[in-house]
Amino acid sequence: MMWSTSKGEGRDIVFVHGWTMDHRDEMRTYEPIFAARPASRPSWHRHYLDLPGMGRSPAEEGIVDMDGMLAALIRFIADRFGNRPFTLAGTSAGGYLARGLLAKIPGSIDGILLRAPLVVPQDDLRDIDPVASLIVDAAAVDAVSADDGMAPGDVLIQTPAYVQALREKMHDTVLPAQAAADHRFLEPIRQDAARYTFSFDVDDMTQPFDGPSLVVTGRHDSSVGFRDAWRLAARFTRSTHVVLDRAEHGLPIDQQPLFAALVNDWLDRLDEASAAPKQT
């Protein structure tokens, strides 16, 4: 049984977090955006979950691969919404699972957001550039310690503001999630490319997805890169695709206003599509 929490009321939107993360990263990223939405705009019922073996959800016996993770997610969706449509947002591996949902229950999803999405599960097949710090300032990273969960030389933008924003994210979401994750359950899946990849072709869609979509990638993402996500443009006919400079896999770090603008545009497009007369 997957743990979840919800905020607000109105139109349903589900957030799927990344591998070894949990709902806290999604809430920290998106709740300020919804809180600042104008009261005149339609409201949203936000559903934040913890995948099996992550956050507050225990490992589930029988889940040995990503197919099993997806099946658990489909059960959660069916129990929560039945046949009611919903909107979907996925981060990193959660983006891969979101595409799995789109392949399995396409008629239930009316819009999708992918943040730094995992597109190619097998590590050595990903199109990733070497990444080095863009701004180097030893003084700015002097305060970084092992307790922050990052090496000073790995900080992409070595400015005081960026370092502080990254430190806060690490302590608020990343480190607690990693501590809560059941690594004995998760590692065999993550370390085996066959288990970490769906048994079906997630891109074998009978027709492109025509709901309002947003794909946000980091130009300096050393985990999943950014180029693999561009081929998704052919599968999402109403997508905004964005590659952010100064952005890594954990985006947004100090670019929350820019990210919020992109998300708000996506939400506005969803509102517009929902209000438009249905074609017959």
The whole-number pLDDT of residue 278 equals 66
- DSSP 3-state of 217: strand
**Termini Cα distance of the chain:** 40
The whole-number pLDDT of residue 18 equals 98
Report the interhelical angle of 66-81 vs 93-104 (nearest 10°).
60
What is the rounded CA–CA span in Å between residue 20 and residue 242? 25
What CA–CA distances, in Å, run from 165 to 38, 146, 155, 251?
26, 16, 11, 11
- Domains of the chain (ranges; CATH) run 4-126+183-275 (3.40.50.1820)
Count of beta carbons in the 10 Å neighbourhood of residue 19: 23
The whole-number pLDDT of residue 279 equals 60
What is the rounded CA–CA span in Å between residue 179 and residue 129? 29
The whole-number pLDDT of residue 280 equals 52
pLDDT along the chain (280 residues), means of 10: 96 98 98 96 97 98 97 97 96 98 94 98 96 91 82 87 93 97 98 97 88 98 97 94 97 97 98 80
What CA–CA distances, in Å, run from 122 to 47, 95, 125, 153, 223?
29, 15, 6, 26, 11
The whole-number pLDDT of residue 207 equals 86
The whole-number pLDDT of residue 152 equals 77
The whole-number pLDDT of residue 204 equals 83
Which amino acid is it at 124?
D
Q: Are 107 and 88 in contact (CB under 8 A)?
A: no
The whole-number pLDDT of residue 51 equals 98
